[in-house]
Amino acid sequence: MSANAHPSIGPTQPSPRPCPDIFTIICCNDSFQLALSLADIETLLLVCKRAQPLLDSKVNRLRHWCKENRLHSPDRPLPDLISANDLIAISLHYGGQETADRSWLVALADQGNPAASYLLARILQANLAHRQPVTRSKRRETQQEIAQHLETAANAKHPMAQFHLAHSYRNGLGVFQDYTKAVELYRTLADRGMPQAQIALGCCYEGGESVDQDFDTAIEWHSKAADQGSEDGRLHIVFFRGWLSFIGHGVKQSDADAFNRWQEVSTQSTDPVIKPIATHMVGWMHYLGRGTVRDEQKGVKIIRENRSDEFPLGEEECLAGESTNVRPDSSILASRKFVELCQLGSEQDWLCRHLTAVCLVHGVGVPEDQVTAAGIFEQLANDGHNDSQVQLRTMYFYGRGVEPNLTKAFQWCQQAADQNNSFGQWMLGTCYRRDDPIFKDLIKAAQWFHKSAEQCNRYGQDSLGYCYRSGEGVARNLHTSRFWFNKAEDQGIHHAWHRVKVVHRDSNTRNKRVCRIQ
């Protein structure tokens, strides 16, 4: 390619720096080092130097196309998803097609281009993550397509495709779950020095996935990644050592050490597995005052806001004994790792047993087993743990894992309420409000709602607002009703907003009546 062929790259312009990515491809590739002389490499670099502006333009256009296809965003930078080599290789074939058009990329993949197959898989993954809820069959179909593209690229020795294919085998995404295949792929890549694979292999040793569980080996692999400058590798070590400190496994038990390590991971990690787990546990430490000053409201807020599709355990499931739209799925990696860690500490710490039972109730990270969960909650409740008493109340109330028994449900939430558990107080209020001749007592209901609301429990605040609006157990007071509904709304009780509007309307209606009388 001569300079005259492209007037915009004329000799009068300042010479651009050689593209670092192309320099890496030429000088750091084993095949080039063996096949080319120094003079040949110098010639190629000169060509790269002249071609860089044109290539940069193509790469930038491809970057824009990737962004339009939701492949990268501020929290998902493109270099973390597609290597510079892949970008350059694919950009040479990109002709500026319409944003939604992927036919050119499909055609390139069909011609055997591994980078194109890998990019297609990543685009499908991104679309699946951003798309509105789809049916299970459609999700499964898309996951199978992703796995096929990854396998095509992996068979052509594309390293990142091999890594993500291992992830598919590990989680049974689009393929039959196969820990052995996953570990084989991770080990091959880890031995070649890929930090992501070293971290993944370390996690397999943590959970004993197709290998003997070995915490020392797990930390060794994480350390290999950290030694290469991988922040993820370092934070995995911090996270895991925090868990060992929490349960006193091989080290001195220390809530403070666990809290500090989890806090570091929660604030610094971007890993979709360990970050939500660490954040969840930081919430519990604040809620219980373990390793830090107790701040129940802060702990509840952290647990509530940390809930996601990837980690579906929040305030409702863990503290209030309720559930909202939790679909049992034992394949989600973060959920599976969480329950494995809880089971690891189930003999040492009551909270680990409690959280294991919560996972069993909802089928999060483990097959659903309500009977076993009810048994765990019963043991912990008898030991006096009020959060487990709240959960046991729900088991008896709805007949989960036990025969329904409203009397026992009442007794357990009474015990939790007597220990100043704000969720137990709210539940006890609901028991007294129910149309049941044995328990119904609207005055007591309002009293318990008030105790809960004063501890900033949003459910207690919402229920107390309703009592004042309707005059149930208290003198009707629309101003006080609006005050408590606003409190609940500030904490995310969305239907409280509607109730505030109703109270406001009722208040205006009453004022108009007063005016007419006057």
Structure tokens at 101: 């058009």
- At 467-477, the pLDDT tens digits run 999 999 999 99
Q: Is the pLDDT of residue 27 over 60?
A: no
Residue 17: pLDDT over 50: no
Please check the confidence at residue 24 and state whether its pLDDT lies above 90.
no
The pLDDT value given to residue 53: 55
**Is the model's pLDDT at 422 over the cut of 70?**
yes
Average pLDDT over every residue of 365-386: 96
Q: What does DSSP assign to residue 79?
A: G
What is the token pair recorded at 439?
Answer: 């328990």
Mean pLDDT for 399-411 is 94
Given this model, what pLDDT does residue 322 score?
A: 75
With bands split at pLDDT 50, 70 and 90, how would you rate the model's confidence at 517? very low
Phi, psi for 76 (deg, rounded to 5) = -135, 70
Query: Residue 10: what pLDDT?
Result: 34
If you average pLDDT over each of 65-79, 206-220, 494-508, which comes out highest?
206-220
Decide which of 311 and 88 is more confident.
Answer: 311
pLDDT, average across residues 249-254: 93
**Partners of 76 in beta bridges:** 73
Q: What is the pLDDT of the chain when averaged over all its residues?
A: 83
Q: Does residue 41 have a pLDDT over 90?
A: no
Evaluate whether 152 touches 117 at the Cβ level (below 8 Å): yes
The two tokens of residue 82 are 């597609």
Q: Which residues of 391-402 are buried (b: 16+ CB within 10 A; e: fewer)?
A: bbbbbbbeebbb
What value does the mean pLDDT take over residues 418-422?
96
Give pLDDT, residue 220.
96
Q: pLDDT tens, 361-375?
A: 999 989 999 999 999
Closest CA to 432 of 381, 495, 474: 474
> For residues 121 and 2, which has the higher predicted lDDT (pLDDT)?
121
Contact 253, 262 (CB under 8 A): no
Higher pLDDT among residues 397 and 105, named by residue: 397
- Which tens digits make up the pLDDT trace of 205-227? 998 999 999 999 999 999 999 99
Percentage of the chain modeled with pLDDT above 70 = 77
Whether the per-residue pLDDT at 451 is higher than 90: the answer is: yes
Closest CA to 159 of 125, 122, 185: 185
If one counts every other C-beta atom within 10 angstroms of the C-beta of residue 116, the result is 25
Answer yes or no: is pLDDT of 444 > 60: yes
71-75, 76-80, 192-196 — which one is most confidently predicted on average?
A: 192-196
> What pLDDT score was predicted for residue 15?
41
Is 469 in a helix, a strand, or coil?
helix
Residues 124-156 have pLDDT tens digits of 887 777 665 678 888 889 999 999 999 999 999
Q: CA–CA separation, 313 vs 354, rounded Å?
A: 13
What pLDDT is attached to residue 44? 61
Q: Is the per-residue pLDDT at 513 higher than 90?
A: no
> Given this model, what pLDDT does residue 22 score?
53
Residue (of 103, 168, 114, 109) closest to 142 by Cα position: 168
The dihedrals phi and psi of 329, each to the nearest 5 degrees, come to -155, 100
What percent of the chain lies above the pLDDT cut of 90?
A: 60
Q: How confident is the model at residue 499 (pLDDT cuts 50, 70, 90)?
A: low
At 185, list the tokens: 């792929």
> In which band, very low, low, confident or very high, does the pLDDT at 500 lie, cut at 50, 70 and 90?
low
d(CA 382, CA 167): 42
Please say whether the dihedral angle defined by the alpha carbons of residues 381, 385, 388 and 389, taken in this order, is positive or negative: positive
- Residue 169, token pair as written in the block: 């085998």
CA distance 391 to 401: 12
In degrees and rounded to multiples of 5, residue 244 shows phi and psi of -65, -40
Give me the mean pLDDT over the 278-282 stretch: 98
Q: What is the pLDDT of residues 295-340, one digit of tens each?
A: 999 999 999 999 988 899 999 999 998 765 555 554 578 898 999 9
Are 225 and 199 within 8 A, CB to CB? yes
- At 91, the amino acid letter reads S
Q: Which residues contact 411 (CB under 8 A, 6 or more apart)?
A: none
Q: What is the DSSP string of 209-267?
A: SSS---HHHHHHHHHHHHHTT-HHHHHHHHHHHHHHHHHTSSS---HHHHHHHHHHHHH
Inter-residue contact 431 to 453 (CB < 8 Å): no
Per DSSP, which regions of 286-392 are E strands? none
Residue 364: φ, ψ to 5°: -95, 110
Collect all residues with Cβ–Cβ distance below 8 Å to 17 and sequence separation of at least 6.
49, 52
Cβ-contact 453, 487 below 8 angstroms: yes
Strands (E), 11-124: none
Query: CA torsion sign, 207 to 213 to 216 to 221?
Result: negative
Strands of 324-461, DSSP E:
none
Q: Name every residue whose Cβ is closer than 8 Å to that of residue 108 and which is 6 or more positions away in sequence.
A: 90, 93, 116
Q: What is the mean pLDDT of residues 281-302?
A: 97
